[in-house]
A and B are shown apart, each in its own frame.
Chain A
Amino acid sequence: MSLHRRSLAQLAAGLRKKEFSSVELTRALIDRIEQAQPGLNAFITVTGVSALAEAAAADRELQAGRGGPLTGLPLAHKDIFCTEGVRTSCGSRMLDNFVAPYDATVVTKLKAAGTVMLGKTNMDEFAMGSSNETSYYGPVKNPWNPGLVPGGSSGGSAAAVAARLVPAATATDTGGSIRQPAALCGITGLKPTYGRVSRYGMIAFASSLDQGGVLTGSAHDAALLLGVIAGFDPRDSTSVEREVPDYVAALERPVRGLKIGLVKEFFEKGLEAETERRIRDALAHFTRLGATLTEVSLPNLALSVPAYYVVAPAECSSNLARFDGVRFGYRCREPRDLTDLYCRSRGEGFGAEVKRRIMTGTYVLSAGYYDAYYLKAQQVRRLITDDFARAFAQVDVLMGPTTPTPAFALGAKTSDPITMYLNDIYTIGANLAGLPALSIPCGFVEELPVGLQLIGPHFGEEVLLGAAHAYQRETDWHTRVPVTYE
């Protein structure tokens, strides 16, 4: 099998058996990336030179019989993670000239594990979007159909993995930004429990919702990577001090006896018929494996999108205040005075969706409106979290669609923000409650991938990965590659 179609686990084995070197592998993938770039636009920065140096170093380690399970394996980082000495743009003109002076903890950990960074992937600006159409660097195309979106905000990472330009990529998920692109691109995407992965060095969008995760070809690969990036970080006060289990070992958990909850509200109007059929097929498969299906209800689910669109903009309006043209980032030309410096640097540096959310967030926090919007949203957040807790008292995992439809056309939803926001209806709840969630491919509708979402209780990644792995052992949806990229 060609190198680019192999999983992380297979590549690791190949490197160890000296079938090929990390330098060879890296070179091959850099070539693929460069060839694919004009058509896909998955990358903002390709770090070809340093990648080869890292690969060479990895090869030396492997030669000397040292190194670990990930030594020499290539991957890409979403351009939201600070990478020392390399441009970190967050998909924005505001940071187009920003070279990070430090590594995010996620980057440090993966570096220490011996991985090789091939580049920084494209994304919706400041992680705000569900289609990767708001990037300063232009939209990313869906490898299955270049007229369609790959999903967002981690569209670049998802497209890169789906097109087999890299076997894996890091990403972030605030309202579905890992899972939704995973579904639209036919790959596996994992958002860990809030606090499982350090946010240090991960440019903040909405601090109480953001979580770093991975996009890969399989649950096995996701488990491999999660084991490296998970863990307490003293630099992040919201990072949880909790042992990191052996996620790879957990993959072998049996599905027999697994209690799957079907959220009634996930299957109501809005879910496209064919998509629903693929989901039901996948659920039937789980039943054959010995799992049971129970209907549960999350009665406040409908409020999750409005609650999110109060909390996230509020937090982002404050998080993005540091971008003022003073210490780093974009500065307007010849500012007349301080106010002009701020207003024009920010007005010119930020794109329309980012500004819209800053305006919304500023408004909902302002005097007289705090109680009606922000406070109310945080109360609804508790209601939703309690709903999930009640569900998990009855079942082990929730399953349902990741998105209401497969990938949609570029430009189809950009005119009305609300239509775009409704894309996130199945995914947002997990962010509000801080729960771990996974999306795996489970079929096709008109040759476009469909994703099955699994949501677990806090720190229930092992349950999710085990169930996903069991499914992937017996199906091959996750091995399909778009024809153009075979």
Chain B
Amino acid sequence: MSEAGWETVIGLEIHAQLATRSKIFSGSATAYGAPPNEQADLVDLGYPGTLPVLNAEAVRMAVKFGLAIGATVAPTSVFARKNYFYPDLPKGYQISQYELPIVARGALEIVLDDGSRKRVGITRAHLEEDAGKSLHEGLGSLTGIDLNRAGTPLIEIVSEPDLRSAKEAVAYLKKVHTLVRYLEICDGNMQEGSFRCDANVSVRRRGTERLGTRAEIKNLNSFRFVEKAIHYEVDRQIDLLEGGGKVVQETRLYDPDKGETRSMRSKEEANDYRYFPDPDLLPVALSSALIEEVRKSLPELPDEKAARLSSQYGLSAYDAGVLSASRELADFYEAVVRGAPKDPKLAANWVMGELAAALNRDSLEISASRLTAAQLAGLLQRLLDATVSGKIAKEVFEGMWSSGRDADAIIEERGLKQITDSGAIERAIDAVMAANPGQLAEYRSGKDKLFGFFVGQVMKATQGKANPAQLNELLKRKLAP
């Protein structure tokens, strides 16, 4: 929370692992979870005499991203060496891009809590290789280095310092997260480290133009941590400045257990990376033909999809936004609508309601849903044709979810068909009226509230299957004095 008088300025650097089969400069596999160093070949290990060769798919994915954020895709880009020593960096330099990145200025629009829209600039996005992993536990006074991850392609996305609050930062982060999954260039798995975020945070007195000294916060691997870390850091900086101190430009680690950021003492304050163009790689030339081919292969982007869902199915902007959070979810929704076209809003409510709740409860992604879109559509059809009431439909849904069977099968098996035979409902009403003479008398003498009691009793007697509308109408008539 920034106190009045202070403005927070945040820029995010996102590292997204590209979902290629092989690494960016070698033919090793990129699959997650292999035993240590079983996916590190001679090139990844930086063996003397080995040389990098560029993965075509990594380039296409970067171009895809650039086009999706409306950026200029550089017709020529250059790989540069970023030189520093660290055990997880086998060559003693990281192959990255410096002066001429593959993607230049672009932007993304985010929607804030109050519904307003904000444009967030993206300074650049470039290709680089990931480093390996250091393991500090269980090795006594030693650290173990696993280079399986070394050489995995990354796209580093640098935002302009346009974000003004932790909430904006998270909204932007989520937007990029959704986008890279839409484009199928990154699986966005933050726990596995395929989508990482560093936040550059500074504060300044409201009204000043100059940016304050910023701290870079690393190790933010969930949306929640990003928000918490930024809050902590902003408070820390404001307290520091108000107490007469100065903010030091440094790298800080977020500690999720303590909920605080800590200075990284072991890293050098000012690392001189001595960037220079990598002489083992030639400039990357992108023809306009290739760029056009990639442009044509772009899927419908999240914003476009949300707008279309809204206009095509009459959904609110909010609902359309929720349903377009992922391509899989949006595709699922549209398949449900195709199966039950009469009421897209009903379909939206069920996908965002019951289905989402069930997925959440069982920790499943939409792609692992226990119900197919066709099956859900089938249930909605039964609702729409009044075979079941809304309440019963929920029961049917649960039955479908646990068994994987169709709506009709569940309805049949459990005898959940709605009772729409007026005669049967009237008989049930008669029975209830006869069994509750006292309440009947009270109702007829003016206690209107007891109507609900009778509704409940009839529902109980019919195991909830009485058609609510018919029940209401018949009950009103019969209860009338």
Asked whether the complex places CB atoms of A and B closer than 8 A, the reply is: yes
Chain A residues with a Cβ closer than 8 Å to the other chain, count: 44
B218 in contact (CB, < 8 A): no
Q: Please tell me if the beta carbons of B276 and A314 are within 8 angstroms of each other in the complex.
A: yes
A235 in contact (CB, < 8 A): yes
Q: Please tell me if the beta carbons of A101 and B54 are within 8 angstroms of each other in the complex.
A: no
- Residue A370 contacts which of B49, B51, B81, B274 (CB distance < 8 angstroms)? B274
Contact of A318 with B49 at beta-carbon distance under 8 Å, contacts A326-B145, A342-B85, A370-B274 already known: no
Residue of B nearest to A314 (CB): B276
Please report which residues of chain B, range 243-286, place their CB below 8 angstroms from some CB of chain A when the two chains form the complex. 272, 274-276, 279-282
Please report which residues of chain A, range 176-213, place their CB below 8 angstroms from some CB of chain B when the two chains form the complex. 199-204, 206-208
A104 in contact (CB, < 8 A): yes
Bound-complex Cα distance A321 to B86 (A): 10
A483 in contact (CB, < 8 A): no
Q: Please tell me if the beta carbons of B42 and A321 are within 8 angstroms of each other in the complex.
A: no
- Residue A365 contacts which of B42, B45, B51, B83 (CB distance < 8 angstroms)? B83
Most buried by B among A82, A104, A201, A321: A321
- Residues of chain B within 8 A (CB-CB) of A314 are 276
**Contact mask for chain A residues 79-107; partner B; CB cutoff 8 A; 1 contact, 0 none:** 00110000010100001001011101000
Q: Which residues of B contact A (CB under 8 A)?
A: 42, 45-54, 81, 83, 85, 87, 90-93, 145, 272, 274-276, 279-282
Contact of A82 with B53 at beta-carbon distance under 8 Å, contacts A318-B81, A366-B274, A374-B276 already known: no
23 residue pairs of the A-B complex, CB under 8 angstroms, read A82-B48, A82-B49, A102-B47, A104-B49, A199-B49, A199-B51, A203-B48, A206-B279, A207-B279, A235-B53, A237-B51, A237-B52, A237-B54, A237-B282, A314-B276, A320-B92, A321-B92, A321-B93, A322-B46, A323-B48, A324-B85, A326-B87, A327-B90
Distance in angstroms from A233 CB to nearest chain B CB is 9
Contact of A322 with B92 at beta-carbon distance under 8 Å, contacts A314-B276, A365-B83, A365-B276 already known: yes
A367 in contact (CB, < 8 A): yes
- Residues of chain A within 8 A (CB-CB) of B92 are 318, 320-322, 324
- Residues of chain A within 8 A (CB-CB) of B42 are 101-102
Given contacts A236-B53, A320-B92, A362-B274, 4 further A-B contacts (CB under 8 A): A206-B279, A324-B92, A365-B276, A366-B274
Q: Which residues of A contact B (CB under 8 A)?
A: 81-82, 88, 90, 95, 98, 100-102, 104, 199-204, 206-208, 234-238, 314-315, 317-318, 320-324, 326-328, 338, 342, 362, 365-367, 370, 374
Bound-complex Cα distance A309 to B280 (A): 19
Q: Please tell me if the beta carbons of B49 and A203 are within 8 angstroms of each other in the complex.
A: yes
Q: Please tell me if the beta carbons of A327 and B54 are within 8 angstroms of each other in the complex.
A: no
Bound-complex Cα distance A234 to B42 (A): 15
Q: Please tell me if the beta carbons of B47 and A315 are within 8 angstroms of each other in the complex.
A: no
Residue of B nearest to A365 (CB): B274
Residue of A nearest to B147 (CB): A327
- Residues of chain A within 8 A (CB-CB) of B83 are 317-318, 321, 365
Distance in angstroms from A309 CB to nearest chain B CB is 16
Q: Please tell me if the beta carbons of A321 and B51 are within 8 angstroms of each other in the complex.
A: no
Bound-complex Cα distance A202 to B50 (A): 8
